[in-house]
Amino acid sequence: MPFVIIVGGPSGTGKTTTATLLAKHYNCPYIEGDDLHPKANVEKMSRGEPLTDEDRWGWLEEVSHVSTQKAIDPSNKSGLCIASCSMLKKKYREFLAEKGKGAEFRFIFLHASFDNIIKRVAARQNHFLKSNMVKSQFDIMEVPKTDELLKNGGKAIAVNCETGTPDSLTDLIVHQLDV
């Protein structure tokens, strides 16, 4: 069965870097979830306004659809697609998997301390989400635990990204995935 692996977590955790490294490792397509946000969402975040659940549903459905189509595309010999998407809440991860007909989903949730993330986001340039938005993400963030974890029969791996290099974190993830 084709697999979609979504790398998530709050802004500044290294979703894009990790997802790119995973796509290189598996020699498969990569979808940048931020590129699929509707213009209204980007404008809202650029003004410093947090997205609501209602703002996110259409975007999450698009991430699920596009990544699933890439995974099941007959020309994609790997049968995998890697995507990046914040997927901060358990219900978002459940929605992504539910909407992705034809592929099995795995979720990699990167997390770190609030202070660490603030420093990372403040150092970034040319991104629509600024450091003042990190608190709103932490307010709603649900790090996968218990039955949601792959080791307990779920679909998720939670990875603290404060220590280690992007390469070492990617190696850790690859060794835990069952794809």
CB 50 within 8 A of CB 136: yes
Round to whole Å and give the CA distance between 152 and 6.
Answer: 18
Round to whole Å and give the CA distance between 89 and 150.
Answer: 16
Number of domains in the chain: 1
According to DSSP, residue 53 is labeled: H
CATH, residue 130: 3.40.50.300
CB 70 within 8 A of CB 27: no
Assess whether pLDDT exceeds 60 at residue 101.
yes
Dihedral (Cα; 101, 105, 110, 111), 10-degree rounding: 80
Q: Which of 52, 51, 85 is nearest to 66 (CA)?
A: 85
CB 3 within 8 A of CB 79: yes
With cut-offs at 50, 70 and 90, classify the pLDDT of residue 164: confident
Q: Tell me what pLDDT residue 148 has.
A: 97
CB 133 within 8 A of CB 11: yes
With cut-offs at 50, 70 and 90, classify the pLDDT of residue 41: very high
With cut-offs at 50, 70 and 90, classify the pLDDT of residue 82: very high
CB 114 within 8 A of CB 120: no
Q: Which residues contact 123 (CB under 8 A, 6 or more apart)?
A: none
Mean per-residue pLDDT over the chain, rounded: 92
Assess whether pLDDT exceeds 60 at residue 59.
yes
Tens digits of residue pLDDT in 66-79: 999 999 999 999 99
Q: Tell me what pLDDT residue 22 has.
A: 98
Q: Which domain holds residue 149?
A: 3-176
According to DSSP, residue 141 is labeled: -
Tens digits of residue pLDDT in 14-40: 999 999 999 999 999 999 999 999 999
Assess whether pLDDT exceeds 70 at residue 147.
yes
